[in-house]
Amino acid sequence: MIFLAKIQVQNFVSRACELATRLAFSCLLCTPVIAIAQSTDLFPRPAELEPAINFWVKVYTEVDTQNGFLHDSVNLSVIYTRVSNVRRDLESTRNRIRDDLQALATGKRDNLTRSQRETLASWPADVSNQTLRTAASNVRFQLGQSDRFLAGLQRSGAYRSHINEVIREKNLPIELGVLPHVESSFNPGAYSSASAAGMWQFTRATGQRFMRIDHIVDERMDPYIAAAAAMSLLEYNYSVLGTWPLALTAYNHGAAGIARAVRQTGTTDIEKIVGNYRGRAFGFASRNFYAQFLAVIQVENEARRHFGDIRLNAAPNFREVRTDAFIDAEVFAASVGISLEQLRADNPALRPAVWQGNKRIPQGFPIKVRSEAVAPGNLLAMVPADFKFAVQTPDVAYVVERGDSLSVIARRFNTSVARLVSLNQLASSNRIQIGQRLLLPQDNTGVSMLAANPSQALLDDGKYTVRRGDTVSLIAARYGVTEQALLGINGIQDRNRIYPGQSLILPGFAASDQQLVAINATSIPAPPTVVEFADEVNELAPVPLVPAETSTELVAAGSEISTPSTVEVAAEAPVQLALNELNEALLPPAAVLPDNQELDTPVTLEEQEAIAIDPVLDVAQSNEQLTAALEADPSDYTVASNNSIEIQASETLGHYADWSGVLAWDIRRLNNLAYRDPVIIGERLTLDFSRVNIAEFELRRREFHSTLQGEFFSNYRIQDVEHYRVKQGDNIGRIARNRYSTPVWLLRQYNPELDFNRIQINQEIIFPLLEQVN
């Protein structure tokens, strides 16, 4: 390829040999396992959890992944037997134990079979028949983990130094560094059935609070970036819940779920919550998460006794540079003299679109290269200027129409359902919506395939298909035309805005009135489809979230009324600008802060519209999905037994009227509110559910907050927190807006116990520090 002529040629064989020699030597110098001194004040070991802790120690040290334990799922001191991880043997043994328990539950204690005696011996001598009857339904299999734990312990050497540094910077307990043992066995490429990803097992909704997660970059997959995000999440959980056992359990179950458990049980004692809370989603994994964490600390401290002499993997020596432009991955790798495969292995946050050439490495991305694999000097200077772009490769997208399914779309554009799901990070391959925008792979979407050489790229009709590494200047020079003529005939105003697969008309080779397209219309059956070419220049400049203090009932004086707009670039040539202006006069009165605190939560047009319930899912399933989407939000969105709710930020009487199907005036009368009386955040309001049932009301309420928070965290990331002490004359709403650019709903999440009616001088308030997403 032509661009290779401009790139310094490196001796890859020599570099590979040198790298292998250094790695072989480094493994002899690895740091041995270092014991962790556990703080019982911060991480207590209640007696009630000892059986569970001991159980997990056995799982991590006595049984490998070829075997496991059949045990009681509630009382973990009851282990019936060790069994191989072969389905036939496992189910046969499980059924035998169930039969034994059912027989013993009748009171039978004489003439027992050998199996029944062994099953009974697993329980205390005074076990009741009712306990045994219940136990027959609680026989659970736990896969062994000893080989996986050892492998994770060895892998941890590459990351623990960095993790500990992050922990020290945040002044958090050093014990938190063992958490990846529980989550992934320190496997950076781990995925879970619940769509959690990476070594730290972030879900998309929670991860977006702290990291970039999209079709170009998924920072969950970078164990170093995700380590900082994990500590930020734990720091947040602790600020919300107040104890480390709860904060750790919330890492698995979500701060919202643990806050709900605290409300329902009336305690913050982890052993009481584990023993008594029966939340729908609070299953075996959540109940045992803290016990697993304590077991991991114990096993690490006793690692030599369990596993012998252990040597940890050496930490790689990276050079990290932030790219100064959008650069093709293959170009960057060849420029600095490393293989594309090695660059990909060291930068797992970059998604397949980058490695397949459909997207460039983003500008400002902290790219890692092995120090021993590259020559000294400025790596970015090694990349020729002609291959540095000011913009990202545009998206090729399809807008879903009625009658579409992923399989239909995949066939239409000659791709696979799995690839569409991966590229668009879809939670399910069975759910797409009319109007949804799906990204398409750019190598097989009906776009003319990239040619193997320049002559093949020029078609008979005088069009040229842009290839990876092409620039306007290179194409112009290749075919003897001027850059100005090439740009003019194709209607391109910015010379940097060309992308692989784009069809260009060459001046002098064909008539100038030919249509410029990138998707072959003949490959798209009727009805006609809408195809978008979204320019990431616009995606990189998201519409700011403007404070919307629109209520005529705001108690704060002098509130400014803002009219946010939603802007979307729908096509590239010509660009169609869709501008939806919000009519402030139609907005319902907003919930306000007491004591003249100002409401600064943004309100968008979409948030004012009723969201239709998916007919495929029932209300309970939808509520469960939305609860998962709001797993980091500890706010109470439920309806109490007396039909009252706690008023949350961003909510209005108009919302409550819409969600419950009654008039706002009826809600006022029910609560003895005069027309000018505001609804105040943190207070309770009684509602009428005669027209809409409580489950559907809660669904609509959660949909509103899920949309609000999802849009916010698509534009902003939490970088850190700051502890602010209240001074005389402070206005918390104004400080949140002007100093921290923080909406009130996010401020309340970090300070759930904050009573805006009783803010005192010198009181400490936690403010998240936000960064606008590029």
Catalytic residues, which ones?
A: 183
**Residue with tokens 């194709």, as numbered in its chain:** 490
Bond preceding residue 527 cis, omega within 30 of 0: yes
Q: CA-to-CA distance for 550 and 566, rounded, in angstroms?
A: 17
Q: Is 474 left (phi over 0), alpha (psi -120 to 50) or beta?
A: alpha
Residue 453 in tokens: 């050489």
Nearest to 250 by CA among 264, 267, 270: 270
Can you tell me the distance from the alpha carbon of 376 to that of 379, in angstroms, rounded to the nearest whole number? 8
Distance of alpha carbon 454 from alpha carbon 229, whole angstroms: 45
* Token output for 493: 């105003």
* CA pair distance 738, 704, nearest whole angstrom: 25
For the four alpha carbons of 547, 553, 558 and 560, in that order, the dihedral sign comes to positive
3-state secondary structure string across 567-613: EEECCCCCCCEEEEECCHHHCCCECECCCCCCCCCCCCHHHHCCCCC
Phi, psi (rounded to 5 degrees) for 125:
-60, -30
Neighbours of 76 (CB within 10 A): 25
Q: How far apart are CA 626 and CA 628, in angstroms?
A: 5
Q: How far is Cα 261 from Cα 269, in angstroms, rounded to an integer?
A: 11
Instruction: Dig out the tokens for 40 from the structure.
Output: 């019982």
Phi-psi map region of 422: left, alpha, beta (phi>0 left; psi -120 to 50 alpha): alpha
What is residue 718's three-state secondary structure? strand
3-state secondary structure of 662: coil
